[in-house]
C-alpha cells in the first residue's frame, strides 16, 4: 500500500513538472507580431526580404512603448540597412541615427547586453562608411568592440558573436600588421556561425577566409576549399551579387587562362539575372587582363571597350576605375602598334596615391603601369614605377607573419580535434550507459526518468541563477566603465570651466583698469584742449607767424587724436551696455574704435581699408563687438600683409534687413585651404608657427556671437580671398 502511494506521488510530481514545463514553453512562444517580424528580419538581414520587412515595421518600432522591444527594433533596422550592398548615404545616415537612439536607450536602462549588441552594429556602420569612401586608414580603437564581445560571450549569444568577430576582422582589412589577428577573428566567426539559420553569412565568411589565405598567406589550396564551399552555399540562396563575385574570385586560384575565362563567363551569366552593371564591367575588365597577359592584345582591347561601355551604364562616379583600366588599355594599344593612342591615354594618367584603391591593389596597379610605360618606351616613368614597386614589395608581409598564421591555424585544428575526441568519448559513455540500463529491471525505468527530470529541473534552476549572476556582473562592469568615462569628462569640463572663469576675471579687471585710465586721462585732455583753443584765439589776434601757428595746429591734431583714442577705450567698456543685459551698441562706433586700435598695423603694412558701415544699432555689448571686429580685422591684415600693394585691400560692408544686420569682412588673400576649414572655430587651432598666434580669435568671436543669438560664417575661394559674415540682431 505504501509503495503504491509512493508511486502515485512520484507519477503526480512528474506530470506536474511536465505540465508546468509545457505551460512555460507555451508562454515563451507567445510573441507579438512586431517581435516575430523583427526576429525574421534578424535571421534574413543579408537578403532583400529583410529590407521589405524593415520598411513595413519601421512605423511600429517608432511608436513602440516597450523600451526593450524598441531597442531591439532600432538595432535590427540599422543592421538591415547597413547590410544592403547598394546602401545610399541617406540610408547609412538613418542607420547611424537608429543606432544612436538604441545605444542611448540601452544606457538609460543599464542593459549591458543591448549596449554590446549596438556596438557591433556601430563598427559595421564604420566599416561600410570606409568601404564607400575608400578611407585609407584604420577604423578607430577596437577596445570598445572587444569589451562588447566579452559581454555577448558571457551571455552565450553565439549568432551575435559570429557577426561581431567578422566585423572586427573586416575592420583590420587594410592593416598589414594585423593580418594574423584578422585570420583569428575570421576563424572565430566561422566557429560561432549557425549554418542552418545563417547560411548566407557562412558563405560570406568562407569567402573572406579564402581571400585572406590567398592574398595574405599564399595558401591557395585552403583558399580554394573555402571558395568552393561558399559557392555551394550561394548557389542555393538569393544573394546573386555575392554569388557572382565569389565565382569571379575563383578565377584567381585557376592556373590556365581558359579556366580563368570560364569562371568570369559563369559569373557574368549569374549577373544577367540582376541589374549590376558596375560588377559586370569589373568582370569584363578582368577578362581583358587575361587576354593581355597572354599577349592577345586585339581581344584585350575588345573587352576593354565592352567593359567601358558597360561601366558607363552604372550609376555614380567611377573615374578611379576608368583611370585604372586606361593604364592597361595603353599597353594593349602599344603592343597592337597604336602608340599614339597609348601615349594619349598615359598622358591623362594621374598620380597613384590619388586613386581610390586600397594598398593591396597598388601592386597590380603598379605592374600594369610598368608594362604600359615599357610598351610605350617612356623610360623615366618606367624607372619611377619600378622603384615604387620595389618599395611596396619590401613592406609586404614577412615570413614571421606566415609562421604566426600557421600557428593560429594549427591551434584551431588541434582545438577541433580535441572537441571531436570529447564527442566520441561522450557518445561511447552514453552507449555504455544505455546498455547497462537495458540489462536492468524495467520497472525501475519510471524512477530513473523521474530522477532525471528532477535533476534537469535542478540544473536548470542553477544555470538560470548562474546566468543571472553573470548578467548582473556584466551590467555592473559596464556601469563602472561608463561612470569612469563620465568622471573623466566631468574633470575635463571642470578644468575648462576654471580656466574660463580665471580668464573672465582677468578681462573684468582689465576692463575696470582701462575704463579708469580713460576717465583719468579725459579731464587733463579737456584742460589742454581748452588751453590750446585760447592760444589759437590769441595767435589770431596778435597775428602770430606761420611757423609758430603751425606748431599750435600740430598740438591741436595730437590732442584731438588722444581724445579720440580715449573715446574709443570708453566704447570698449561702456557701462551702459554691460554684458549680461539687453544692451544696444552702434556698429559704426565699434568699427571706428576697432580700426583705431589696429591703426599701427594698418600703416605698417600699407593696407587700404574700404569701409562702408552705417550707424546701425544692434543687440550686443560694444566692448564684446569690438573684440569680435578686432579679431576678424587682425586675421584679414595677417592674410594680406605679404601680398603685392594692389591686393592689400580689406573691404568692410554692413547691410540691414527687417530683423538683422549683416557685416562682411573681405580680404584678397590666398584663401583658406579646404583641409583646415572645418577646424577654424576650434580653440587653440592655428596654422602659424608655435608662439606666434594663439588660435583663440575665431573661437572667442564665435562664442560671443552665439551668446548674443548671432552667428558667424565664411566663404573662401583659392587665390581669391576670404569673406567672414557676422550676423547680429536688431533691437525690437
What pLDDT does 697 receive?
79
Q: What is the mean pLDDT of the chain?
A: 75
Residues 6 or more apart in contact with residue 182 via CB below 8 angstroms: 169, 172, 173, 175, 212, 216
pLDDT at 712 over 90: yes
Cell 594618367 belongs to residue: 349
What pLDDT does 714 receive?
92
Q: How many CB atoms lie within 10 A of CB 711?
A: 14
pLDDT at 623 over 80: no
pLDDT bucket at 597, cuts 50 / 70 / 90: confident
DSSP for 518-555?
HHHHHHHHHHHHHHHHHHHHHHHHHT--HHHHHHHHHH
Taking the CA of residue 358 as centre, how many other CA atoms within 13 Å lie in the half-sphere pointing to its CB?
13
Return the bridge partners of 518, or none: none
pLDDT at 650 over 90: yes
Q: Which of 501, 600, 517 is nearest to 566 (CA)?
A: 517
Cell 591555424 belongs to residue: 409
Helix (H) or strand (E) holding 50: helix 48-63
Cell 547586453 belongs to residue: 113
- Over residues 295-321, the mean pLDDT reads 78
Contact 730, 617 (CB under 8 A): yes
- Over residues 648-667, the mean pLDDT reads 92
What pLDDT does 144 receive?
82
Range with top average pLDDT, 21-35, 46-60, 563-577, 682-696: 46-60
pLDDT bucket at 481, cuts 50 / 70 / 90: confident
pLDDT at 130 over 60: yes
Asked which of 253-262, 443-452, 539-548, 621-630 is least confident by mean pLDDT, the reply is: 539-548
Alpha-carbon distance of 363 to 220, in angstroms, equals: 19
Between 447 and 640, name the one with better pLDDT: 640
pLDDT at 445 over 50: yes
Asked which of 17-26, 68-77, 531-540 is least confident by mean pLDDT, the reply is: 17-26
What pLDDT does 649 receive?
92
What torsion, rounded to 10 degrees, do the Cα atoms 209, 214, 219, 224 define? 70
For residue 166, give the C-alpha cell.
567578422
Tell me, letter by letter, the H, E, C secondary structure of 303-344: HHHHHHHHHHHCCCCCHHHHHHHHHHHHHHHHHCCCHHHHHH
- Over residues 423-452, the mean pLDDT reads 66
What are phi and psi for residue 173, nearest 5 degrees? -60, -40
For residue 35, give the C-alpha cell.
517581435
pLDDT tens-digit series, residues 253-282: 888 888 888 988 888 888 875 578 888 888
Sign of CA dihedral 96, 100, 106, 109: negative
What pLDDT does 660 receive?
92
pLDDT bucket at 137, cuts 50 / 70 / 90: very low
What pLDDT does 573 receive?
52
pLDDT at 653 over 90: yes
- Over residues 321-344, the mean pLDDT reads 63
Helix (H) or strand (E) holding 638: helix 622-640
For residue 386, give the C-alpha cell.
619600378
Burial class (CB in 10 A: 0-12, 13-18, 19+), 641: middle
Asked which of 167-181, 298-312, 573-587, 611-625 is least confident by mean pLDDT, the reply is: 573-587
pLDDT bucket at 90, cuts 50 / 70 / 90: confident
Between 159 and 695, name the one with better pLDDT: 159
pTM to 2 decimal places: 0.46
pLDDT tens-digit series, residues 193-223: 887 888 888 888 898 888 888 878 888 888 8
For residue 441, give the C-alpha cell.
529491471
Alpha-carbon distance of 654 to 594, in angstroms, equals: 15
- Over residues 501-520, the mean pLDDT reads 62
Helix (H) or strand (E) holding 627: helix 622-640
pLDDT bucket at 609, cuts 50 / 70 / 90: very high
Asked which of 4-18, 538-552, 679-693 is least confident by mean pLDDT, the reply is: 4-18
pLDDT bucket at 620, cuts 50 / 70 / 90: confident
- Over residues 650-658, the mean pLDDT reads 91
pLDDT bucket at 570, cuts 50 / 70 / 90: low
What pLDDT does 663 receive?
95
pLDDT at 564 over 80: no
- Over residues 579-595, the mean pLDDT reads 78
pLDDT bucket at 136, cuts 50 / 70 / 90: very low
pLDDT at 376 over 60: no
SS3 of 725, please?
Answer: strand
What pLDDT does 41 receive?
79
pLDDT bucket at 2, cuts 50 / 70 / 90: very low
Range with top average pLDDT, 41-50, 459-468, 722-731: 722-731
Sign of CA dihedral 50, 55, 60, 62: positive
Q: What is the DSSP letter of 65?
A: -
Q: With pLDDT > 70 as the criterion, what percentage of the chain qualifies?
A: 64
What pLDDT does 598 receive?
86
Between 288 and 511, name the one with better pLDDT: 288
Q: How many CB atoms lie within 10 A of CB 438?
A: 8
Cell 548562474 belongs to residue: 466
Contact 76, 124 (CB under 8 A): no
pLDDT bucket at 580, cuts 50 / 70 / 90: very low
Between 448 and 408, name the one with better pLDDT: 448
Cell 567601358 belongs to residue: 308
Alpha-carbon distance of 178 to 164, in angstroms, equals: 17
pLDDT tens-digit series, residues 679-692: 888 876 676 655 45
What pLDDT does 728 receive?
93
What pLDDT does 723 receive?
94
pLDDT at 423 over 60: no
Amino acid at each position: 500500500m505504501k509503495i503504491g502511494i509512493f508511486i502515485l506521488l512520484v507519477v503526480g510530481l512528474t506530470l506536474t513538472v511536465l505540465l508546468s514545463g509545457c505551460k512555460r514553453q507555451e508562454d515563451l512562444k507567445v510573441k507579438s507580431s512586431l517581435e516575430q517580424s523583427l526576429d525574421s528580419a534578424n535571421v534574413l538581414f543579408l537578403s532583400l526580404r529583410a529590407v521589405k520587412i524593415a520598411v513595413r515595421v519601421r512605423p511600429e518600432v517608432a511608436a513602440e512603448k516597450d523600451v526593450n522591444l524598441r531597442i531591439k527594433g532600432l538595432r535590427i533596422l540599422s543592421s538591415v540597412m547597413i547590410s544592403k550592398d547598394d546602401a545610399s548615404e541617406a540610408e547609412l545616415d538613418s542607420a547611424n541615427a537608429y543606432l544612436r537612439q538604441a545605444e542611448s536607450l540601452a544606457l538609460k536602462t543599464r542593459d549591458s547586453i543591448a549596449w554590446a549588441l549596438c556596438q557591433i552594429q556601430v563598427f559595421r556602420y564604420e566599416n561600410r562608411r570606409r568601404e564607400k569612401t575608400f578611407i585609407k586608414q584604420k577604423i578607430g580603437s577596437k577596445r570598445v568592440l572587444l569589451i562588447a564581445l566579452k559581454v555577448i560571450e558571457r551571455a552565450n549569444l553565439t549568432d551575435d558573436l559570429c557577426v561581431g568577430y567578422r566585423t572586427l576582422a573586416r575592420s583590420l582589412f587594410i592593416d598589414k600588421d594585423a593580418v594574423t589577428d584578422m585570420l583569428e577573428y575570421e576563424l572565430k566567426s566561422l566557429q560561432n556561425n549557425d549554418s542552418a539559420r545563417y547560411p548566407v553569412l557562412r558563405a560570406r565568411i568562407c569567402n573572406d577566409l579564402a581571400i585572406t589565405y590567398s592574398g595574405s598567406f599564399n595558401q591557395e589550396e585552403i583558399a580554394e576549399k573555402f571558395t568552393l564551399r561558399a559557392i555551394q552555399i550561394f548557389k542555393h540562396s538569393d544573394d546573386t551579387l555575392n554569388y557572382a563575385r565569389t565565382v569571379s574570385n575563383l578565377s584567381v586560384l585557376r592556373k590556365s587562362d581558359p579556366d580563368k575565362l570560364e569562371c568570369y563567363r559563369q559569373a557574368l551569366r549569374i549577373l544577367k539575372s540582376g541589374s549590376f552593371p558596375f560588377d559586370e564591367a569589373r568582370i569584363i575588365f578582368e577578362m581583358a587582363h587575361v587576354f593581355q597577359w597572354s599577349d592577345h592584345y586585339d581581344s584585350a582591347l575588345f573587352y576593354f571597350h565592352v567593359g567601358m561601355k558597360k561601366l558607363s551604364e552604372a550609376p555614380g562616379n567611377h573615374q578611379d576605375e576608368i583611370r585604372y583600366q586606361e593604364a592597361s588599355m595603353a599597353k594593349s594599344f602599344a603592343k597592337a602598334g597604336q602608340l599614339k593612342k597609348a601615349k594619349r591615354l598615359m598622358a591623362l594618367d594621374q598620380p597613384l596615391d590619388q586613386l581610390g584603391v586600397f594598398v593591396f591593389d597598388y601592386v597590380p596597379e603598379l605592374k600594369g603601369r610598368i608594362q604600359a610605360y615599357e610598351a610605350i618606351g617612356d623610360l623615366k616613368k618606367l624607372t619611377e614605377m619600378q622603384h615604387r614597386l620595389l618599395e611596396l614589395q619590401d613592406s609586404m608581409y614577412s615570413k614571421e607573419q606566415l609562421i604566426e598564421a600557421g600557428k593560429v591555424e594549427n591551434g584551431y585544428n588541434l582545438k577541433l580535434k580535441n572537441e571531436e575526441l570529447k564527442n566520441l568519448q561522450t557518445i561511447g559513455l552514453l552507449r555504455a550507459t544505455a546498455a547497462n540500463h537495458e540489462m536492468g529491471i524495467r520497472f525501475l525505468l519510471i524512477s530513473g526518468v523521474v530522477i532525471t527530470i528532477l535533476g534537469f529541473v535542478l540544473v536548470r534552476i542553477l544555470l538560470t541563477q548562474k546566468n543571472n549572476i553573470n548578467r548582473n556582473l556584466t551590467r555592473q562592469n559596464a556601469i563602472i566603465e561608463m561612470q569612469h568615462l563620465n568622471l573623466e569628462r566631468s574633470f575635463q569640463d571642470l578644468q575648462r570651466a576654471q580656466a574660463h572663469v580665471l580668464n573672465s576675471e582677468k578681462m573684468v579687471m582689465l576692463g575696470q583698469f582701462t575704463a579708469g585710465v580713460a576717465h583719468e586721462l579725459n579731464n587733463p585732455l579737456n584742460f589742454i584742449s581748452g588751453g590750446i583753443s585760447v592760444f589759437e584765439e590769441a595767435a589770431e589776434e596778435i597775428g602770430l607767424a606761420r611757423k609758430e601757428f603751425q606748431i599750435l595746429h600740430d598740438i591741436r591734431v595730437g590732442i584731438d587724436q588722444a581724445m579720440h583714442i580715449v573715446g574709443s577705450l570708453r566704447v570698449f567698456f561702456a557701462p551702459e551696455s554691460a554684458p549680461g543685459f539687453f544692451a544696444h551698441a552702434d556698429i559704426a562706433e565699434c568699427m571706428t574704435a576697432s580700426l583705431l586700435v589696429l591703426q599701427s598695423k594698418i600703416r605698417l603694412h600699407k593696407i587700404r581699408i574700404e569701409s562702408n558701415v552705417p550707424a546701425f544699432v544692434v543687440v550686443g555689448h560694444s566692448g564684446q563687438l569690438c573684440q569680435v571686429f578686432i579679431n576678424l580685422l587682425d586675421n584679414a591684415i595677417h592674410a594680406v600683409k605679404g601680398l603685392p600693394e594692389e591686393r592689400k585691400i580689406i573691404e568692410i560692408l554692413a547691410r540691414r534687413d527687417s530683423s538683422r544686420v549683416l557685416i562682411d569682412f573681405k580680404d584678397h588673400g590666398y584663401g583658406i585651404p579646404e583641409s583646415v576649414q572645418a577646424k577654424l572655430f576650434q580653440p587653440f587651432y592655428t596654422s602659424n608657427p608655435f608662439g606666434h598666434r594663439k588660435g583663440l580669435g575665431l573661437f572667442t568671436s564665435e562664442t560671443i556671437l552665439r551668446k548674443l543669438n548671432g552667428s558667424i560664417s565664411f566663404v573662401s575661394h583659392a587665390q581669391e580671398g576670404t569673406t567672414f559674415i557676422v550676423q547680429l540682431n536688431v533691437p525690437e
